[in-house]
Amino acid sequence: MIIPALDIIQNKIVRLYQGDYNLIKYYDYNIHDMLEQYQLLGVKTVHLVDLDGARNPRLKQKSFFRDIINYFPDYIQVAGGIRDERDIDYFLSLGVKRVVIGSSVIQNIETVKKWIKYYGNEYIVVALDIQIDKNNIKKVFIHGWKQDTGKKIEDILQELLSVQIKYVLCTDISRDGTLSGPNFRLYQEMIHQFQNINFQASGGVSSIDDLSKLKTIGIHDVIIGKGLLENKFTILEAMQCWQNELFHVLT
């Protein structure tokens, strides 16, 4: 599935470069209009990120997100500063499609495993942001991609298999917001090792060819931000490419 992404700071659409809040680019789009257009064109899910909440959970844009989710029920995959049951209950009660859990996976994985079992693996997405060293060690980072957790993504995913984790959003930090192309090797290795997980690829998508390659290697979903905002291709072109590749895979 193609999933457009909109990152929000102070009710404005933005993109960060490699997660750096000092490198913000603002886009003069109306969020409501964009969501409505995506819906009319057949998009099934939009990834909406509260970057204020991600940086500081006390600064969540709750009222703004509430208004959007109320207008677009069962359509939003929401991320940013979701740290406890109150946050999950709040967003699920509003009618989000899924909630994305990031830092808590590292800080309290046993609690996150309980959430997955309690709420159901259809409603929880685990987000793991990684940096890859010269030895191909995939290290997970948290807190705005500034803190090295010392943990490898493979070890975390192996533990989450015990609760049948279904959705994992995997981002190569070095590619995010760069339009430099996805890390195909990373996703090939993850899909090969964890065949029962539906991976969401994020970071670097800049062309239709990128989408074709991701589909070919078996990625379940692709989250696209800057590529769409900067008109590298249209959402219709992306969706058509995805359907064409799906047809080739099935035949």
CATH number of the CATH domain containing 108: 3.20.20.70
Mean pLDDT of 130-154: 86
> Per DSSP, what are the bridge partners of residue 142?
147
Q: Is 129 a catalytic residue?
A: yes
Catalytic residue among 50, 52, 129, 172: 129
Distances (CA, A) of 28 to 134, 136, 205: 39, 38, 21
Q: Is 155 a catalytic residue?
A: no
Q: How far apart are CA 235 and CA 34, in angstroms?
A: 11
Give residue-wise pLDDT tens across range 146-171.
678 889 999 999 999 999 999 999 99
Q: How far apart are CA 100 and CA 83, in angstroms?
A: 10
Task: Look up the pTM and report it.
Answer: 0.92
Give residue-wise pLDDT tens across range 71-91.
999 999 999 989 899 999 999
List the one residue out of 52, 120, 51, 128 whose CA is nearest residue 88.
120
Mean pLDDT of 209-233: 95
pLDDT of residue 40 exceeding 50, the answer is yes
**8 A C-beta contact, residue 129 and residue 173:** yes
Q: Which domain holds residue 187?
A: 2-250
Mean pLDDT of 185-208: 96
Mean pLDDT of 116-133: 95
pLDDT of residue 250 exceeding 70, the answer is no
Domain count, the chain: 1
What does the mean pLDDT of the chain come to? 91
